[in-house]
Amino acid sequence: MVGLLVVDKPLGWSSMDVVRRVRGAAGGVKTGHAGTLDPLATGVVVCCLGKATRCVEQIMGQRKTYEADVDLSAWSTTDDREGELQPVEVPTPPTREQVAAACEQFVGDIEQVPPAHSAMRVGGRRAYKLARQGQEVVLEPRIVSIYAIELTGYTWPTATLTVHCGRGTYIRSLARDLGKALGTGGHLAALRRTAVGPYTLAQAVTVEHCKEVGVTEADLLPMPEQ
């Protein structure tokens, strides 16, 4: 069995939870995924089966599309709603026009500092492990590519964004930095990945489908040309 399976990851599952479900439903065939989603996020996880695992890096390098809800009323220790929230007093909430203008500041090749609670390594150790132990985590900024940000909805304190970006972009960091630019709080309240390259939610199966029906050749998409 060789090919790609696009799965709509449910809330609370890790990407590896999805891989284990797919592997079991496909009869134990070698399976990997082309890009991690945090348990807080839902949406597209591209699973690569059999010889298609050689395409993981190629697919991970493609642009991604996310729908994100950013809560501007508080900071978070993890830059998302799973952390300890620190509410911010905002006497006059920003207007929709001000939020849209602030979003434009982050379009292009930009420097972005990953969240302290991330899988980045600091001195050989995962940053999130150090942060959970109460240690100060200092991560260097990296260049990431954000191709477009659309403000698709805004009712204080939540800004809903559609973000088109390249590999390595942290939407949690974008939420945090958007709050800094606006002089408000900023953390990621919800995240859904709708596309990885040409692979979209329209092609996705659910984990329930994998459990109840299994995975067959008919479910798989062909490997991309290399």
Where is 214: in which H helix or E strand?
none
Q: How far is CA 62 from the centre of its chain?
A: 14
Residue 80 appears among annotated catalytic residues: no
Q: What is the DSSP letter of 81?
A: T
Rounded Cα distance, 161 and 179, in Å: 13
CA 178, 65, 204 angle in degrees (round to 5)? 140
Widest Cα–Cα separation across the chain: 59
Rounded Cα distance, 124 and 158, in Å: 37
Task: Kindly name the residue from 38, 80, 177, 219 that is annotated as catalytic.
Answer: 38
Tell me the catalytic residues: 38
